[in-house]
Structure 1
Amino acid sequence: MLSLELLDTVPNVDTTILKLAECWKNWRGERLIPLRQDVRPEALGSALSGICIYEVIAPDEVIIRLESGVIRSLTSESAKGANVIAMTPEEDRAIRIERYQNTLFTPCGMLGRGDLKFAKGKVVDMLSIFLPVAEEVDGPARFVYVGQQVISTNDWKEDEMSVVSDLAHEFHYVDIGAGYPSANSACA
């Protein structure tokens, strides 16, 4: 388990992830999670190119509303509007759904390192932080802001956006002030 204050001790964490965590804490002020109206993307500076925004419509519908420039530079197509759950191998979908639900309803953050596998064989090792954002005061989180960084790739050429997003092989929930998902959770 991990807290926001310890992010800088995690191997390979770069400024994109640290900057999103810092801005996210500023946006939330005294609240547990920030409101969407308080988000100031310009505060991210150059880290903005590594940010994605996901909207959770339903447990099995997590839509990419803003894709990061990092991902866009690796593909020949846009992922905007794609469902993250549909990009997950069938056998891993229940765990991915549970992780997003835990992020929204505990609430907590997630830090994960995993592979994106593209159509023509490109594999990108990514480290990402996921932080919840609410639409309204006292409302549940509905958005997830994601800071992404490439750890390594086997090819920098553009590839098709037909992506398989494996579950993170290194995964931690991040305590944002409400603790961690219950021990009864299958992926806690």
Structure 2
Amino acid sequence: MTLPHRSSLHPQPPQNLEAAFGGARREGGVEALLSDDSRQLLAAWKSWRSKRLLPHRRDMDLVSIARLMPRLVLLEAFSPQRMIFRLAGTEIETVAGLRLMGRDHIAMAQPDQRAARSRLLWGAATQPCGALAFHPISHPDSGRPHQIETFVLPVLPDDSTAPMQLIGLAAHLPVLEAGSHVTRPLEYAGARPHFLDIGGGIPA
């Protein structure tokens, strides 16, 4: 069940979203794949939404997940081609080797990876649903294979004219030597995205 939007390029949740979907809560096997940190984010997100389908931005209590803050991001989903960082934790920026605030998450991907990144994140924002991905990298210091996990959940903006938001977490970030960082944008392991049904279904 995909949320109706007034504009496909600027997704807006309907004002009666909570009434439309009530307290439906169906979760699939994807939850079993989550790391402990992602599970903590999911548990906090569930407490923020209470009996509604989605929490609003004002419902987010980041103090309750303060331990995760260095690995959190907040994205604004303007369109499938435009997802802007509004928050990026210090550990994520250290691994990336640059400031992420205000940057376009889709444009930062390699051209052949943008469609996969867009499908996962836009699907999470507009279905709405959770989205999980795994990213294989070579450790910048040792060269050994390493895998980063990313997990995002949708959040309603407080302003009904603003775009949908995604709160996300990066787990299993590599421990790096001073001045080292990942030199290539994250790619996706496998072609099948992992969507988590939070009550509104998952993308086809």
**Normalised by the shorter chain, which TM-score bucket?**
0.7 to 0.9
**Which residue is equivalent to 1:10?**
33
**Which residue is equivalent to 1:92?**
113
**Which residue is equivalent to 1:104?**
125
Residues 32 and 178, structure 1, Cα contact 8 Å, conserved in 2: yes
Residues 126, 165 of structure 1: CA spacing in aligned structure 2 closer, same or farther, 3 A cutoff?
A: same
**Which residue is equivalent to 1:23?**
44
1:144 aligns with 2:144: no
Residues 115 and 126, structure 1, Cα contact 8 Å, conserved in 2: yes
Q: Which moved more, 1:113-122 or 1:123-132?
A: 113-122
- What does 1:1-188 align with in structure 2 at a 5 Å threshold? 3=27, 7=31, 9-10=32-33, 13-14=35-36, 16-115=37-136, 125-136=147-158, 142-150=164-172, 152=174, 155-159=176-180, 163-169=184-190, 171-182=193-204
Residues 10, 58 of structure 1: CA spacing in aligned structure 2 closer, same or farther, 3 A cutoff?
A: closer
TM-score (norm 2): 0.72
Distance apart, 1:29 and its partner CA? 1.1
Aligned residue type for 1:23: A
CA RMSD of aligned residues (A): 3.2
Q: What's the % identity of the aligned pairs?
A: 21
Unaligned runs of 5+ in 2: 1-25
TM-score (norm 1): 0.77
Distance apart, 1:44 and its partner CA? 0.6
Residues 39, 60 of structure 1: CA spacing in aligned structure 2 closer, same or farther, 3 A cutoff?
A: same
Rg (Cα) greater in structure: 2
Q: C-alpha separation between the residues in 2 aligned to 1:135 and 1:110? A: 19
Q: C-alpha separation between the residues in 2 aligned to 1:46 and 1:33? A: 23
Residues 55, 29 of structure 1: CA spacing in aligned structure 2 closer, same or farther, 3 A cutoff?
A: same
Q: C-alpha separation between the residues in 2 aligned to 1:41 and 1:161? A: 27
Aligned residue type for 1:96: R
Aligned residue type for 1:149: A
Residues 94, 110 of structure 1: CA spacing in aligned structure 2 closer, same or farther, 3 A cutoff?
A: same
Residues 173, 136 of structure 1: CA spacing in aligned structure 2 closer, same or farther, 3 A cutoff?
A: same
Residues 62, 116 of structure 1: CA spacing in aligned structure 2 closer, same or farther, 3 A cutoff?
A: farther
Deviations 1:103-122 (A, max 9, x none): 11111111111146799997
Residues 141 and 177, structure 2, Cα contact 8 Å, conserved in 1: no
SS of equivalent to 2:95: coil
Aligned residue type for 1:68: G
Query: Which is richer in strand?
Result: 1
